Amino acid sequence: MDYSFIIRRANSEDAVAIKDILNESFTNYKNDTGLTGALEALTESVEAIRIAIESVNVYIAVVDEVPVGTVRVSINADGTAYLSRFGVKSNSRSIGIGKALMNLVNKLMKEKGVSRLTLHTASKNRELIHFYYGAGFYIESISTDRSYLRALLVKDY
């Protein structure tokens, strides 16, 4: 093992690996949060991921040539952005992969002049809420539009 770690912009060849990361991450998210309904991230096709890679900012984290994490950020015309499809494989958690992905997102937001980054997560998932608070987000509101308590988190730049 080389113990190499990189984060790079995803390309269309990464779509299958990203689908695998999202399937594992969002299955865990669903189980950890006690959700029973469908999650869009679990039903997204490889082709839809390829389209996202071509149209928004999709990044992939790779350790020793093995894809272990991903994040997607859509930048809006009004200077705001939305973070989604953020996930890290179970065997690569708690070693800084998520933090490194978030640091890259912060750099991108500053480079692009984004004033506000938003995301949604289950408000009952303490681990994720704690992670996002540590990354500088705060809860702006909570809704049940997806049949569970879903927090809208915001980070101002």
Per-residue confidence (pLDDT) for residue 2, from 0 to 100 = 76
**Residue numbers in the chain where pLDDT is lower than 70:** 1
Residue 128 in any domain: the answer is no
Tokens linked to 50: 């390829």
Per-residue pLDDT of 60-95, as tens digits, reads 999 999 999 999 999 999 999 999 999 999 999 989
Per-residue confidence (pLDDT) for residue 147, from 0 to 100 = 83
Per-residue confidence (pLDDT) for residue 145, from 0 to 100 = 87
Per-residue confidence (pLDDT) for residue 60, from 0 to 100 = 98
- 57-86 burial: b if 16+ Cβ within 10 Å, else e: bbbbbbbeeebbbbbbbebeeeebbebbbb
Cut 0.85: pTM above it: yes
Residue 44 in any domain: the answer is yes
Residue 85 in any domain: the answer is yes
Residue 51 in any domain: the answer is yes
Residue 136 in any domain: the answer is no
Residue 131 in any domain: the answer is no
Q: Is 152 helix (H, G, I), strand (E, B) or coil?
A: strand
Residue 142 in any domain: the answer is no
Could you tell me the residue range of the domain that residue 95 belongs to?
5-115
Q: What CATH number does the domain containing 97 carry? A: 3.40.630.30
Per-residue confidence (pLDDT) for residue 36, from 0 to 100 = 86
User: What is the Cα–Cα distance from 12 to 83, expressed in whole angstroms?
Assistant: 19
Per-residue confidence (pLDDT) for residue 31, from 0 to 100 = 94
